[in-house]
Chain A
Amino acid sequence: MAAIVVDDLHKSYGSTRAVQGVSFSVEQGACVALLGPNGAGKTTTLEVLEGYLKADRGRVEVLGMDPRHATREWREGIGIVLQGTAADPYLTVRETLARTAGFYPRPRDVDEVIGMVGLDEKADSRINKLSGGQQRRLDVGYGIIGNPKLLFLDEPTTGFDPSARRGAWEMIEGLRSLGTTIMLTTHYMDEAQELADNIVVIGSGKVVAEGAPDELGGRATAAAHIRFRLPAGVDPQSLPIDATLDGHGYYELTTDDDVKVLHALTGWSIKYDVALEGLVSNRPSLEDIYLSLVGRDLIADATEPEPTGATR
Chain B
Amino acid sequence: MSDFALVASQIRYEQKSYWRNPAAAFFTFAFPLVFFFILVGVAGGGHDASILGSSVKLSQYYTPSVLAYGVMSACFLSIALNLVRQREFGVLKRMRGTPLPSWALIGGIIGNAMIVATLLSVVCIVFAIVVYGVKLPASHILPLIVTIALAALVFCTLGIAASSLIPNMDAGPAIVNLPYFILVFISGTYFPINGGLAKVAAYLPLRPFIVAMYKGFNPLTTGSAWAPHQLGSLALWGVAATFFAVRNFRWTPRR
Query: A and B, one complex?
Result: yes
| Residues on A facing B (Cβ under 8 Å) | 13, 50-52, 72-73, 75-76, 78, 80, 82, 84-88, 90-91, 95, 99-100, 102-104, 126, 142, 146, 308-310, 312
Q: Is the CB of A52 within 8 A of B97?
A: yes
Are B254 and A309 interface neighbours, CB within 8 A?
yes
Most buried by A among B9, B88, B89: B89
Give the contacts of B230-255 with A (CB-CB under 8 A).
252-255
Which single member of B6, B10, B94, B253 contacts A82 (CB below 8 Å)? B94
Query: How many B residues have CB within 8 A of the partner chain?
Result: 26
Q: Is the CB of A91 within 8 A of B13?
A: yes
The CB with the most chain A CB atoms within 10 A, among B21, B99, B100, B254, is that of B99
The answer to whether B47 has its CB under 8 Å from any CB of chain A is no
Question: Bound state CA distance, A50 and B17, in angstroms?
Answer: 28
Also in contact, A85 and B13, with CB within 8 A (given A102-B1, A104-B99, A126-B20): no
6 new A-B contacts, CB < 8 A, other than A90-B20, A102-B9, A103-B1, are: A85-B91, A85-B93, A86-B89, A126-B20, A146-B99, A309-B255
Q: Determine the distance from Cα of A78 to Cα of B16 in the docked complex, in whole angstroms.
A: 28
- Across the interface, do B94 and A87 meet the contact criterion of CB distance under 8 Å? yes
Residues of the A chain whose Cβ atoms lie less than 8 Å from the Cβ of B99: 72-73, 75-76, 103-104, 146
Residues of B within 8 Å of A146, CB to CB, are 98-99
Measured in the bound complex, the distance between the Cα atoms of B93 and A84 in whole Å is 10
- Cα–Cα distance between A310 and B16 once the two chains are bound (Å): 27
Q: Which residue of B lies closest to A100 (CB)?
A: B98
The 9 A-B pairs at the shortest CB distance, nearest first, are namely A85-B90, A90-B20, A75-B99, A80-B97, A86-B89, A85-B94, A90-B17, A103-B100, A76-B99
Q: Which of A52, A80, A86, A95 contacts B13 (CB 8 A)?
A: A95
**Beta-carbon nearest neighbor of A83 in chain B:** B90
Whether B91 and A86, one on each chain, are in contact in the complex, defined by CB atoms closer than 8 angstroms, is yes
**How far in angstroms is the closest Cβ of chain B from A305?**
9
C-alpha spacing A91/B91, complex, angstroms: 13
Q: Are A309 and B252 in contact (CB under 8 A)?
A: yes
Any chain A CB within 8 A of the CB of B228? Answer: no
| Chain A residues, Cβ within 8 Å of B9 | 99, 102
Q: In the bound complex, what is the Cα–Cα distance between A29 and B255 (angstroms)?
A: 35
* A110 to B: closest C-beta gap in Å: 14
| A residues in contact with B254, CB < 8 Å | 309
Most buried by A among B9, B21, B94: B94
Is B90 within 8 A of A84, CB to CB?
yes
- Of B17, B101, B252, which is within 8 A of A72 by CB? B101
Kindly state whether residue B96 has any CB partner on chain A within 8 Å: yes
Some 9 contacts from A to B, beta carbons below 8 A apart, are: A52-B93, A75-B98, A87-B94, A91-B13, A91-B20, A102-B1, A103-B100, A142-B94, A312-B90
Identify the B interface with A (CB < 8 A). Answer: 1, 6, 9-10, 13, 16-18, 20-21, 88-91, 93-94, 96-101, 252-255
- Are B255 and A13 within 8 A (Cβ)? yes
Set of chain B residues within 8 Å of A80, measured between Cβ atoms: 94, 97-98
Cα(A52)–Cα(B21), bound, Å: 32
CB distance from A42 to the nearest CB of B (A): 17
User: In the bound complex, what is the Cα–Cα distance between A95 and B97 (angstroms)?
Assistant: 19
Name the A residues within 8 Å of B13 (CB-CB). Answer: 88, 91, 95, 99
Name B98's contact: one of A13, A86, A95, A103 (CB within 8 Å).
Answer: A103
Q: Which residues of the other chain, B, contact A95 by a CB distance below 8 angstroms?
A: 13, 16
A298 shortest CB reach to chain B, Å: 23
Interchain CB contact under 8 A, B253 and A309: yes
Report how far A91 CA is from B1 CA in the complex, Å.
21
A99→B254 CA distance, assembly (Å): 28
Residues on B with C-beta less than 8 A from A310 are 90, 93, 252
* Chain B residues closer than 8 Å to A102, beta-carbon distance: 1, 6, 9
Closest-CB distance, A70 to chain B (whole angstroms): 9
Which residue of B17, B89, B97 has the most chain A CB atoms within 10 A of its CB atom? B97
Most buried by A among B17, B253, B254: B17
Which chain A residues border B98 with CB–CB below 8 Å?
A: 75, 80, 100, 103-104, 146
User: Do the beta carbons of A82 and B93 come within 8 Å of each other?
Assistant: yes
A52 touching B96, Cβ below 8 Å? yes
Residues of A within 8 A of B90 (CB): 82, 84-86, 310, 312
CB distance from B84 to the nearest CB of A (A): 13
Contacts of A126 in B (CB 8 A): 20
Query: How far does the alpha carbon of A80 sit from the alpha carbon of B97 in the complex, in Å?
Result: 7
Nearest Cβ on chain B to A264's Cβ, whole angstroms: 60
Whether the pair A88, B93 counts as a contact (CB closer than 8 A) is no
B97 A87 Cβ-Cβ under 8 A: no
Report which of A76, A86, A312 forms a contact with B94, defined as CB distance below 8 A: A86
Contacts of A309 in B (CB 8 A): 252-255
Return B113 CB to nearest CB of chain A, in Å.
15
Determine the distance from Cα of A86 to Cα of B91 in the docked complex, in whole angstroms.
5
**What is the bound-complex CA distance between A90 and B112, given in angstroms?**
15
The minimal Cβ–Cβ distance linking B103 to chain A, given in whole angstroms, is: 11
Interchain CA distance A312-B168 in the complex, whole Å? 12
Residues on B with C-beta less than 8 A from A312 are: 88-90, 253
Residues of B within 8 A of A51 (CB): 97
